[in-house]
Chain A
Amino acid sequence: MGTKRTIELEVATSGVDAQGKATRVPLGVADQTGVGILTDREEPALGGDHMLVNIGPQHPATHGVLRLVVELDGEVVVRVIPHIGYLHSGFEKLGEYRYYNQIVPLTDRMDYLAPMSNNVCLALAVEKLMGIEITERCKVLRVIACELSRIISHLVWLGTTSIDLGAFTPFLWCFQERERVYNLQEMWTGARLTTSLTRVGGLMADIPDGFTEGVREFCATLPKTMDETDRLLTRNGIWCARMQDIGILTAEEAINYSLSGPMLRASGVPYDVRKDRPYLDYETYDFEVPIGEKGDVYDRYLCRFEEMRQSVRILQQALDRLPDGPINVDDSRVSLPPKSEAMNDMEAMIFHFKQVMEGIEAPVGEAYMPIEGPKGELGYYFVSDGTAKPVRFRVRPPAFINLAALPKMAEGHLLSDLIAINASVDIVMGEVDR
Chain B
Amino acid sequence: MNPTVQALRNKFQGAIGRAAVSCGDTIVYVKAANLSEVMVFLKEGPDQEYNYLVDITAVEYRDPERPLEMVYELFSLARRAQLRVKVELDKSEELVVDSLVPLWNGANWLEREVYDMFGVRFAGHPDLRRILMWETYAEGHPLRKDFPLRGRFSRAEQVRQALNANPEAHYSMEEISIAEAYHEIPAEMRERLARGERGKIAEPENS
A positions within 8 Å CB-CB of B:
49-52, 69, 71, 79, 81, 84-85, 88, 90, 92-94, 97, 128-129, 131, 253, 255-259, 269, 271, 276-277, 365-368, 370, 377, 379, 381, 383, 385, 391-392, 394, 396, 400-401, 403-405, 408, 433-434
Q: Name 11 A/B residue pairs within 8 A (Cβ), A-sorted.
A: A52-B171, A85-B130, A94-B149, A256-B105, A258-B105, A259-B106, A271-B52, A370-B54, A379-B55, A381-B55, A396-B73
For chain B residues 49-106, which have a beta carbon within 8 Å of chain A?
Answer: 51-55, 57, 59-63, 71, 73, 77, 80, 82, 84, 104-106
Beta-carbon contact of B61 and A271 below 8 Å = no
User: Nearest chain-B residue to A97 (Cβ)?
Assistant: B149
Beta-carbon contact of B52 and A368 below 8 Å = no
Give the CA-CA distance A379 to B56 in the complex, in Å.
Answer: 12
User: Nearest chain-A residue to B179 (Cβ)?
Assistant: A52
CB distance from B69 to the nearest CB of A (A): 9
Beta-carbon contact of A385 and B84 below 8 Å = no
Contacts of A365 in B (CB 8 A): 22-23
Please pick, from B55, B63, B77, B172, the residue contacting A269 in the complex, using a CB distance under 8 A.
B77
**B134 interface contact, C-beta 8 A:** yes
Beta-carbon contact of A394 and B55 below 8 Å = yes
Knowing A52-B178, A93-B142 are in contact, say whether A257-B55 is a contact too (CB < 8 A). no
Give the CA-CA distance A365 to B108 in the complex, in Å.
Answer: 28
Give the CA-CA distance A49 to B178 in the complex, in Å.
Answer: 9
**B180 interface contact, C-beta 8 A:** yes
**B109 interface contact, C-beta 8 A:** yes
CB distance from A332 to the nearest CB of B (A): 23
Contacts of B149 in A (CB 8 A): 93-94, 97
CB distance from B1 to the nearest CB of A (A): 15
**B201 interface contact, C-beta 8 A:** no
Knowing A88-B132, A276-B80 are in contact, say whether A401-B109 is a contact too (CB < 8 A). yes
Beta-carbon contact of A51 and B175 below 8 Å = no
Q: Chain B 164-207 against A: per-residue CB contact (8 Å), 1 yes, 0 no?
A: 00000001101100111100000000000000000000000000
Give the CA-CA distance A403 to B132 in the complex, in Å.
Answer: 13
Give the CA-CA distance A400 to B105 in the complex, in Å.
Answer: 13
Give the CA-CA distance A129 to B185 in the complex, in Å.
Answer: 56
Beta-carbon contact of B77 and A379 below 8 Å = no
Contacts of B40 in A (CB 8 A): none
User: Nearest chain-A residue to B27 (Cβ)?
Assistant: A366
Contacts of B38 in A (CB 8 A): none
User: Nearest chain-A residue to B113 (Cβ)?
Assistant: A400
For chain B residues 129-181, which have a beta carbon within 8 Å of chain A?
Answer: 130-134, 142-143, 147, 149, 171-172, 174-175, 178-181
Give the CA-CA distance A128 to B23 in the complex, in Å.
Answer: 6
Give the CA-CA distance A408 to B53 in the complex, in Å.
Answer: 18
Contacts of B82 in A (CB 8 A): 277
Instruction: Give the size range of B's interface with the partner.
Output: 35 or more
**B25 interface contact, C-beta 8 A:** yes
CB distance from A98 to the nearest CB of B (A): 11
**B15 interface contact, C-beta 8 A:** no
Beta-carbon contact of A367 and B23 below 8 Å = yes
Contacts of A71 in B (CB 8 A): 175, 178
**B110 interface contact, C-beta 8 A:** yes
Q: Would you list the 5 A-B pairs with minimal beta carbon distance, nearest first?
A: A258-B106, A52-B179, A367-B23, A404-B109, A85-B132
Give the CA-CA distance A394 to B62 in the complex, in Å.
Answer: 16
CB-based A-B contact count at 8 angstroms: 122
Contacts of B59 in A (CB 8 A): 366, 383, 391-392
Knowing A93-B149, A367-B25, A391-B62 are in contact, say whether A49-B54 is a contact too (CB < 8 A). no
User: Nearest chain-B residue to A44 (Cβ)?
Assistant: B180
Contacts of A131 in B (CB 8 A): 23
Beta-carbon contact of A85 and B104 below 8 Å = no
Contacts of A51 in B (CB 8 A): 179-180
Beta-carbon contact of B106 and A90 below 8 Å = no
- Which one of A50, A52, A370 has the highest number of Cβ atoms from chain B below 10 Å of its Cβ? A52
User: Nearest chain-A residue to B133 (Cβ)?
Assistant: A85
Contacts of A93 in B (CB 8 A): 142-143, 147, 149
Contacts of A269 in B (CB 8 A): 77
- Which one of B27, B106, B142 has the highest number of Cβ atoms from chain A below 10 Å of its Cβ? B106
Beta-carbon contact of B25 and A408 below 8 Å = no
CB distance from B181 to the nearest CB of A (A): 8
Beta-carbon contact of A404 and B108 below 8 Å = yes
CB distance from A425 to the nearest CB of B (A): 13
Please pick, from A259, A379, A400, the residue contacting B109 in the complex, using a CB distance under 8 A.
A400
- Which one of B23, B51, B54, B175 has the highest number of Cβ atoms from chain A below 10 Å of its Cβ? B23
CB distance from A390 to the nearest CB of B (A): 10
Please pick, from A84, A97, A257, the residue contacting B106 in the complex, using a CB distance under 8 A.
A257
Beta-carbon contact of B106 and A85 below 8 Å = no
Beta-carbon contact of A401 and B110 below 8 Å = yes
User: Nearest chain-B residue to A92 (Cβ)?
Assistant: B143
- Which one of B71, B109, B110, B142 has the highest number of Cβ atoms from chain A below 10 Å of its Cβ? B109
Give the CA-CA distance A434 to B27 in the complex, in Å.
Answer: 26
Contacts of B110 in A (CB 8 A): 258, 401
Give the CA-CA distance A271 to B80 in the complex, in Å.
Answer: 10
Give the CA-CA distance A276 to B77 in the complex, in Å.
Answer: 8
Contacts of A258 in B (CB 8 A): 52-54, 104-107, 110
Give the CA-CA distance A392 to B59 in the complex, in Å.
Answer: 6
Give the CA-CA distance A385 to B59 in the complex, in Å.
Answer: 12
| 20 further interface pairs, Cβ-Cβ under 8 Å (given A81-B172, A258-B52) | A50-B178, A52-B179, A52-B181, A84-B131, A84-B132, A85-B131, A92-B117, A97-B149, A255-B77, A257-B105, A269-B77, A271-B52, A276-B77, A366-B23, A377-B54, A383-B59, A392-B60, A394-B57, A396-B54, A404-B106
Knowing A88-B133, A379-B55 are in contact, say whether A256-B22 is a contact too (CB < 8 A). no
